[in-house]
Amino acid sequence: MVRLLIDDFTWENHPYDPDDYGYIVLIEKGDIDRVLNEIDMPWRLADVPWEGASMRDGFYYAVYLGTDDYGMGFVIPDAPWVNGRLREVLESILDQPHQLTPSTNPEEKHHKDT
């Protein structure tokens, strides 16, 4: 998953630069209920002021923006040990799949115009 995220920002002669794109943090089981001091975050994961999250390939990808110029992406496995309040928080901020309505569905609009 981390490799996929890095590949999204990498192309020939343009390597991934975390100073430009933000750091990616892989969360492991022992990280769930502790303050993340080593990355200067004074919160447990369930208390982080997340901007949002998405699900990709069995992982939550949660985004924290510290400032307009600084952010981090957190890769959190959708594993049984991600439970309780953390799972509730992640589920509450998870992007909802885009639902096409008749007014936004290009296929349906085409049929109305013909």
pTM (two decimals): 0.72
Q: What is the pLDDT of residues 68-108, one digit of tens each?
A: 778 899 999 999 999 999 999 999 999 876 555 555 555 54
Backbone angles phi, psi at 89, to 5 degrees: -65, -50
Q: Rounded mean pLDDT of 29-40?
A: 91
Q: Provide the Cα torsion 26, 70, 53, 41; round to 10°.
A: 60
Backbone angles phi, psi at 54, to 5 degrees: -140, 165
- Helix (H/G/I), strand (E/B), else coil: 109: helix
- Say yes or no to pLDDT of 109 above 80: no
Q: How does the average pLDDT of the chain come out, rounded?
A: 80
